[in-house]
Structure 1
């Protein structure tokens, strides 16, 4: 990209990449749904340590879901930037974001210089 506006085919390639990542997140949501279910406190069904383990697993599943939700929001924001023609440009300095950076993180909003501070 090096100073040249992103070509339409590059934008569509990134749109496909983002769409695929969103689909992956949806699949992960379906797999993780069971881990977030309410833990029953039936003394007869499981012991105290098993309950604590189940509560810990539930907590981790909820934290993982929160990370997926944050990633999903960032990817959807990247799609919105595409629609606005702002995708691939740093929100701080206005320079283009390196293609390799966008390939690693298509939701990147800052060039590497601005991200470093």
Structure 2
């Protein structure tokens, strides 16, 4: 347990598990992002529209996954540097329940609320 009652090793395991899942899913997303062929002989207009929509959704999903990977990597660095569990803005401890819900959280609930306001 860390100084603020945070089980840092449990959070590290959570972060590493989530990171591995995201990396494994990247190959599947790449297939869904493949360029849509616009050959009218092979696909009807609605099928092409569905394929284009699926491609756009896959790209958006990949962008969200990349952002999440960046957050996870930053949290893992904070663990290594001994700064995990401290708010990046006010240096106050982040609630253990918040870190259990989102191990990559970098802000306490008050600073996060101020940012979203």
Same topology, TM > 0.5 = yes
Match of 2:106 among 101, 106, 109: 109
Query: Which residue of the partner structure matches residue 56 of structure 1?
Result: 53
Using the TM superposition, give the Cα deviation of residue 34 of structure 1 relative to its aligned residue in structure 2, in angstroms.
1.5
Gapped runs of 5+ residues in structure 2? Answer: none
Using the TM superposition, give the Cα deviation of residue 75 of structure 1 relative to its aligned residue in structure 2, in angstroms.
0.2
How many residues were matched structurally? 114
Work out whether 1:46 is the aligned partner of 2:43.
Answer: yes
What is the CA deviation profile of residues 72-103 of structure 1, one whole-angstrom value per residue up to 9, with x for unaligned ones?
00000000011111110011111110111011
Residue pairs, 1:19-98, within 5 angstroms: 19-98=16-95
Query: Which residue of the partner structure matches residue 5 of structure 1?
Result: 3
Using the TM superposition, give the Cα deviation of residue 33 of structure 1 relative to its aligned residue in structure 2, in angstroms.
2.1
User: Could you say what secondary structure the match of 2:43 adopts?
Assistant: coil
1-structure distance, mates of 2:26, 2:4: 32
Q: If the length of structure 1 is used for normalisation, what is the TM-score?
A: 0.89
